[in-house]
Amino acid sequence: MGRWAEGTIVALVATIPAFAGAAADDIGNNPFRLEAALANGRFSLALRPRYNRIDETAKPLRTEGGTLRAAAGWRSAPFEGLRLTVEAIHADHIGAKHFNDDAALLATSPYPLLPDPRYTGVNQAYVDYTGLDATRFRLGRQVVRFGNQRWVSDNDFRQVPQVFDGVGVVNTSLANTELSASYFRRVRTTSGVVNDLRLTLVNAAWNPASGHAIAAYGVFHDQAANGAFTGLTDNSYRALGVRAEGAFGAWKGIEIPYIAEFAQQRPYARGDSLVRGNYWRVGAGAGTSAWTLRGDYEVKGSNRGVYGVQMPLTDFYAYNGWTLHFFNTPRTGLRDGWLTARYAIGAVTLYGEAHRFRSDYGDRSLGRELDLGVTYAFTASLQARLQHARYDPGAGTPDPGIRKTWLTLSYVY
- Is the per-residue pLDDT at 11 higher than 90? no
Instruction: Give CA–CA dist 194/1, Å, rounded.
Output: 7
The whole-angstrom separation of Cα 193 and Cα 158 is 14
What pLDDT sits at residue 317?
A: 80
pLDDT reading at 23 higher than 50: no
At residue 384, what is the residue type? A
Burial class (CB in 10 A: 0-12, 13-18, 19+), 95: exposed
Rounded Cα distance, 220 and 246, in Å: 26
Going from the C-alpha of 80 to that of each of 17, 29, 40, 74, the distances in angstroms are: 14, 15, 14, 18
Nearest Cα to 404, choosing from 102, 59, 161? 59
Query: What is the DSSP secondary-structure string of 152-195?
Result: S---TTSSS--EEEEEEEEE--STTEEEEEEEEEEEE-TTS-EE
pLDDT for position 9: 39
> Per-residue pLDDT averaged across 385-397, rounded?
95
**DSSP symbol at 327:** S
Judged against a pLDDT cut of 70, whether residue 355 lies above it is answered with yes
Confidence (pLDDT) at 265: 98
> In this predicted model, what pLDDT tens digit does every residue of 199-213 receive, in sequence order?
999 999 999 999 999
pLDDT of residue 36: 78
List pLDDT tens digits, range 279-306.
Answer: 999 999 999 999 999 999 999 999 999 9
| pLDDT per residue as tens digits for the range 30-72 | 445 778 778 889 999 999 999 999 999 999 999 999 999 999 9
pLDDT higher than 60, residue 225 = yes
CA quadruple 297, 301, 307, 309: dihedral sign? negative
b/e code 49-80 from CB counts within 10 Å (16+ = b):
bbbbbbbbeebeeebbbbbbbbbbbebbebbb
So what's the pLDDT on residue 318?
82
- Residue 25 burial by Cβ neighbours in a 10 Å radius (0-12, 13-18, 19+): exposed
Rounded Cα distance, 223 and 270, in Å:
10
Tell me 326's DSSP state.
Answer: T
Residue type, 179: L
Q: Which long-range contacts (CB under 8 A, 24 or more apart) does 369-372 make?
A: 369/321, 369/322, 369/323, 369/325, 371/321, 371/322, 371/323
**How distant, in Å, are the alpha carbons of 240, 289, 290, 349 from that of 254?**
33, 9, 10, 18
Task: Give me the sign of the Cα torsion angle 98, 103, 104, 106.
Answer: positive
Tell me which amino acid residue 158 is: R
Question: In residues, how long is the chain?
Answer: 413
- Name the β-bridge partners of 217: 203, 241
Average per-residue pLDDT for the chain: 92
Measured CA to CA, the distance from residue 89 to residue 1 in angstroms comes to 11
Mean pLDDT, range 233-261, rounded to an integer: 95
Q: Do 16 and 37 touch, CB atoms closer than 8 A?
A: no
User: Count of alpha carbons within 13 Å of 283, Cβ hemisphere only?
Assistant: 25
What are the backbone dihedrals phi and psi of residue 285, each rounded to the nearest 5 degrees, phi first?
A: -175, -160
- Cα–Cα distances (Å) from 189 to 64, 120, 165, 396, in that order, read 23, 13, 11, 34
Q: Which residues pair with 171 in a beta bridge?
A: 135, 179
pLDDT number for residue 3? 47
- Binned at pLDDT 50, 70 and 90, residue 25 comes out as very low
Looking at residue 34, its pLDDT comes to 76
- pLDDT value for 24: 33
How many percent of the chain have pLDDT more than 90?
Answer: 85
Q: Of 393, 326, 400, whose CA–CA distance to 58 is shortest?
A: 400
For residues 256-277, average pLDDT = 98
What is the pLDDT, as a whole number, of residue 211? Answer: 94
Residue 2 in 3-state DSSP? coil
Q: To the nearest whole percent, how much of the chain has pLDDT over 70? A: 92
Q: What residues form DSSP beta bridges with 238?
A: 220, 266
As a whole number, mean pLDDT of residues 161-179 equals 98
In this prediction, residues 132-160 reach a mean pLDDT of 96
pLDDT band per the 50, 70, 90 thresholds, residue 19: very low
Residue 82 pLDDT exceeds 80: yes
The predicted structure's pLDDT at residue 32:
56
* pTM (global) more than 0.95: no
- pLDDT for the residue numbered 37: 77
Bridge-based pairing of strands 194-209 and 135-142 is unpaired
